[in-house]
Amino acid sequence: MFRKASTKRAYEDIVNQIRDAIVQGRLQPGDRLPSQRELKEMFQVSRATVMESLRVLEKADLITIRPGAAGGAFVSHATSDTVAESLHLLLSLEGVTLQELAEFRERLEGGTSFWAAQRATDEEIARLERLLEEVRRAANEGLPWQDFLAEERKIHAAIAEFSRNRPSAATMKAITRAMEEAYSYITPGLYDRVVEDMAGIVAAIRQRDPHLTEERMKIHIRFFNEDMVGNWIKYRRPFFRPGGGHQTRTTSDPSRHHARGVAGTAEGSSGGVQNPESTPIR
């Protein structure tokens, strides 16, 4: 089933081989993998390398490791979370860049918002409006910036769910997971811009206007992508430093803090990064 692992980055080769066996159906949910000793002989690597590979697969929810005499490594049953983690693993191993993820996210979320405007029930739209009120309240209370962004991402996740397109929703989870570190590069303090953008998007969904919803979502994503990628290149370090706490709301740069959102008369743009340096996500 498996071949000798590549001597270069052997653990990644092992992860890829086992992942491919699962994806191609050669390993089914519930199947037990060979023992660590057998895997060591099959791949011709050290036991430590086998253990590292299994840890990566377990973290990606592709396998479950059970202790005891009847234990071992078993193929997990697929869920949307499993698919998302598997895709995140693939993105990491392939060295996908932040720029690639950012531009893909714009297209992806444009599509999910389009479908949500067509398919969301009245109850689900009411839930979006409640989430929007939570985001607005967090902004008014000056919730720490990173925590505020986590609240805002709940709206994005709900819109993906209400799109009724499971591949898109699973991919959204993977993209969000892959970009977690990058979100800390968004300029702190853009509370008003976020609230105005999300209010415009939710209003367009309430109007059942998929084209307007898609346009507003793309403008929103594009603005923050350009800001995030530009800061990633400029600083190459998180805004949230260990032990330094979260940055708080600031109006030190009013031109950025009060940038016009998608529902305003001007389509916001940070100026962008025309040719951002490609930086792999790890």
Per-residue pLDDT of the chain (282 residues; tens, 9 = 90+): 899 888 778 989 999 999 889 878 899 999 999 999 999 999 999 999 999 999 999 987 789 999 888 899 999 886 666 666 666 666 666 777 888 888 999 999 999 999 999 999 999 999 999 999 999 999 999 999 999 999 999 999 999 999 999 889 888 888 887 788 788 899 999 999 999 999 999 999 999 999 999 999 999 999 999 999 999 888 765 433 333 333 333 333 333 333 446 655 333 333 333 344 444 444
Q: Do residues 261 and 221 make contact, with C-beta atoms less than 8 angstroms apart?
A: no
Q: State pTM to two decimals.
A: 0.64
What dihedral do alpha carbons 192, 197, 200, 201 form, nearest 10°?
Answer: -150
Rg of the chain in Å (alpha carbons): 22
Q: Where are the domains of the chain?
A: 10-78, 96-257
* CA distance linking residue 246 with residue 234, whole number of Å: 20
DSSP 271: -
- Residue 222 CA to residue 103 CA, distance in Å, equals 8
10 near 45, Cβ under 8 Å?
Answer: yes
Query: Which residue in 97, 101, 94 sits closest to 224, CA to CA?
Result: 101
Q: Is 3.30.420.130 the CATH classification of the domain at 10-78?
A: no
Query: What does 93-135 look like in DSSP terms, one character per residue?
Result: HTT-BHHHHHHHHHHHHHHHHHHHHHH--HHHHHHHHHHHHHH
pLDDT value, residue 276: 40
The reply to whether 10-78 and 96-257 are identical in fold is no
Say whether 280 sits in a helix, a strand or coil. strand
| Terminal-residue alpha carbon distance, the chain | 29
Cβ proximity of 16 and 86 under 8 Å = no
Residue 245 pLDDT: 36
Alpha-carbon distances, residue 66 vs 57, 71, 76, 120, 234 (angstroms)? 14, 5, 11, 40, 45
96-257 to CATH, choices 1.20.120.530, 3.30.70.1150, 3.30.70.270, 1.10.10.10? 1.20.120.530
Under a CB-based contact definition with an 8 Å cutoff, are residues 194 and 145 in contact?
no
Cα 20 from chain centroid?
22
Angle between helices 80-93 and 47-59 (to 10 degrees): 130
User: What are the tokens at 219?
Assistant: 């403008």
> Tokens 């086992």, residue?
18
Separation CA 221–CA 105 (nearest Å): 8
